[in-house]
Amino acid sequence: MKLVPQPLGGSSLAKDYLAGAESANSFYRGSPYRAETYRQRAEELELARGRDGFATVESVIRPAGPDGAALLRRVVAEGGYFVTTGQQPGLFGGPLYSLYKALTAVRLAADLEGLLTRPVMPIFWIASDDHDWEEANHAFVVDGANRLVRLSLGAAADRHPRPLWRPTLGTAIEEPLERLAGSFPSNDFHARYMTLLRDAYAPEATMASAFAGLMAELLADTPVGLVDAGDPQLKEACREVFRAEAEDSRASETVLDETAEALEDCGYAPQVQLMSGATNLFVDLRGGRERLYRKDGGFVLGRSRGEVSRRRVLDLIENEPRSVSPNVLLRPVVESALFHTLAYVGGPGELAYFAQLRGLFRRHGAGMPVVVPRGSLLVVETKVEKVLDKHGLAAGDVRDAEALLSRFARDRLPDDVRDAVRHWRGAIESRGGELAEGAAAVDPALRGAVIKTRNSGLGALGSLEKKIVRAVKRSADTTRAQIAKAQVNLWPGGKPQDRILSPLQYLMKYGPGFPASALRRIRIRPGRAGSGGGFATRGTDSVA
């Protein structure tokens, strides 16, 4: 199995930012490929924070393993920094990119510790405030028959959308667990991971707690710290930002509108569309999690249209902060206010919407972190590599399997074979006729023998032609199956592998060494990349 670094992709804004285009860079702190960008952010953090700020964050960080616990103590004792990333929780670890985000944060934190000579801890923020059950309730794997299998919990038990830290999985979890177990053959790792999953994804667990348990296991050998957005202590620490939004959400809307207009003036479309009167806060009340909109000095709920007074919202923030949560634009600000984030590792969409936030960070007195692209890897298993090599294909060639298969279609004889058979048949018929006439002149009784021999030859040629057709058909079917196998493993559903497949796809087959192998393939080195920037890579890593 090989792990091959891939370009991240994304919008023109994200691409221009990573390429160092001046038009895009003005919306960010600076290039993620320049050491000076990180030094400037570190200097800003030194001026902005006090040592007592570590007391809160220390209490909400859950180290994934002993290395994380030791690093957290050093960060607190020596006044270190945090590199953050995150993702909403998902069934069986969500897509691979969640793991790649965490590993990119690990790699970047290690590089920055050497650069800044100060401890730097990677943090994975589990966005358990998210209420999109339909996005979180499923996972994909490719089974032993090379079929894409969707493992799903089905619809949520509560008809109202709830933060993912609230509803338990229930007995519905049993079916996807059994389907996952049946998707892979027994080996040295099968029982280990099924036991782990049954413990983490137990009926009484929530999607958030189950995801945290699995991620802690996958990252146990790294210094990552996990943070749950629904943690009561964390929510209490968010009160100041929440209160500022509730008291003057118009100020936030104004700065967001100004930045969106500036982006459009530079030719970029804002990643997140803004809605007039919308605040950056959600509340979880009787009707589920809903966004707050301004109305007549108070608020109205976005879905149910129920009205909520300003006093009521401020009371929730003060006394029930778990019922209040930030939207996608405010969450990075909350995170930076709590952790004084040095750098944030994001996917292409996040890179784009961070460009909208410079004014919102300033409005809340929080500094904007350096925004860094996550690593993207393509896992090429040996069975898939053999198919690519056999047909002279690159991994990207099989993304559109139907278009590729049309090139390999061989449901008829090749022209040269068909022409040869036609000429051969014509020769048997014509020469047979000539021989029959000549033989009949010698002895009329020989005509029948020659014609019989000619017909036998034609019959034998017909049988041979059918054998060739069957062989060509078998070859076409084999090619079709091989291309389909490569496509479903590299581009499941025609989409990037790391956006679809669960990390269990490779853990179940290759064991616990997979995260470490992926970590070795991810590189971001401040001060080492040229103006083009990017992940520097070593030779291809293989896992037995």
Strands annotated E in 428-529: none
Residue 293 is predicted with a pLDDT of 98
pLDDT of residue 532: 33
pLDDT number for residue 526: 54
Say whether pLDDT at 55 is over 90. no
Per-residue model confidence as pLDDT tens digits over 237-263: 999 999 999 999 999 999 999 999 999
CB atoms within 10 A of CB 145: 8
> Residue 285 forms beta bridges with which residues?
288
- As a whole number of angstroms, the distance between CA 52 and CA 536 comes to 37
Q: Name the residue among 2, 4, 124, 126 with its Cα closest to residue 375.
A: 4
Whole-number pLDDT of residue 524: 82
Q: How confident is the model at residue 350 (pLDDT cuts 50, 70, 90)?
A: very high
Asked whether the predicted pLDDT for residue 516 surpasses 80, the reply is yes
Task: Give the pLDDT score at 362.
Answer: 96
Q: Please tell me the distance from the alpha carbon of residue 276 to that of residue 254, in angstroms, as a whole number.
A: 10
Looking at every residue in the chain, the average pLDDT score rounds to 92
**What pLDDT, on the 0 to 100 scale, is given for residue 50?**
63
Contact in structure between 140 and 94 (CB atoms under 8 Å): no
Output 368 or 448, whichever has higher pLDDT. Answer: 368
Task: Summarize the chain as % helix, strand, coil (round to 5).
Answer: 55, 15, 30
Decide: residue 200, CB within 10 A, 0-12 exposed, 13-18 middle, 19+ buried.
buried
CB 486 within 8 A of CB 378: no
CB 288: neighbour CB atoms within 10 A? 20
pLDDT range class, residue 528, cuts 50, 70, 90: very low
Going by C-beta distance under 8 Å and a sequence separation of 6 or more, which residues neighbour residue 495? none
Q: How far apart are CA 220 and CA 62, in angstroms?
A: 11
Q: Cα–Cα distances in Å, from 70 out to 62, 103, 113, 212?
A: 12, 18, 14, 20
The pLDDT assigned to 534 comes to 37
Instruction: Assess whether pLDDT exceeds 70 at residue 527.
Output: no
Share of the chain above pLDDT 70, in %: 93
Under 8 Å between Cβ of 117 and 219: no
Domain boundaries of the chain, sorted by first residue:
2-131+229-275+324-376+500-521, 133-211, 384-495
Query: pLDDT-derived band of residue 78, with 50, 70 and 90 as boundaries?
Result: very high
pLDDT one-digit tens code per residue, 126-167: 999 999 999 999 999 999 999 999 999 999 989 999 999 999
At residue 101, the pLDDT reads: 98
d(CA 120, CA 37): 16
Q: Which residues of 214-252 are buried (b: 16+ CB within 10 A; e: fewer)?
A: bbbbbbbbbbbbbbbbbbeebbebbeebbbbbbeebeeb
